[in-house]
A = this chain, B = another copy of it.
Amino acid sequence: MINKINILDKRFELATGAGSDAIHKDPQYSYAVAQLGDESGLTGNGLAFTLGEGNDLVCKAASFYADKIKGNDIEELMADFGQTFKTLSNEQQFRWLGPHKGVVHLGLAAVTNACYDLWAKKRGVPLWKLLIDLTPEQIVNTLDLSYLEDVLTKAEAIELLSAQVDSKKSREGILTTGYAGYDTSVGWFNYDDEKVRENCKKAIDNGFTAMKLKVGSADPQRDIRRANIVREVAGETSKVMLDANQQWTLPQAISICNELKNMNPYWVEEPTHPDDVLAHQTLAKTIAPIKLALGEHVPNRIIFKNYLQTGCVGFAQVDAVRVGGVSEFITISLMAKKYGVPVVPHVGDMGQLHQHLVLFNHIAMGHKALFLEHIPHLKAHFVNPIKIENGVYVTPQEAGSSCDLK
- Residues of chain A touching chain B, judged by Cβ–Cβ distance below 8 Å, are 23-28, 50-54, 56-58, 60-61, 64, 90-106, 146-147, 149-150, 246, 249-252, 272-279, 282, 297, 299-300, 302-303, 305-306, 309-310
Contacts and interface: CB of A to CB of B under 8 A. Distances in A.
A23 B306 CA distance: 23
Contact of A93 (B51, B97, B252): B51
Contacts of A28: 93
| Oligomeric state, in copies | 2
A57 B252 CA distance: 36
Nearest to A249: B149
A52 B93 contact: yes
A92 B19 CA distance: 12
B51 A275 contact: no
Contact of A51 (B92, B106, B305, B306): B92
A76 to B, nearest CB: 25
A97 B106 contact: yes
Given A26-B92, A97-B102, A276-B305, 8 more contacts: A54-B97, A57-B97, A99-B246, A99-B274, A147-B249, A149-B250, A150-B249, A275-B303
B24 A99 contact: no
A275 B102 contact: no
Given A101-B101, A103-B97, A103-B103, A23 B90 contact: yes
A16 to B, nearest CB: 16
Of A53, A249, A299, most B-chain CB atoms within 10 Å: A53
A52 to B, nearest CB: 4
Contacts of A53: 64, 91, 93-94
B50 A96 contact: yes
Contacts of A105: 102
A92 B275 contact: no
Contacts of A50: 93, 96-97
B146 A249 contact: yes
A246 B52 CA distance: 33
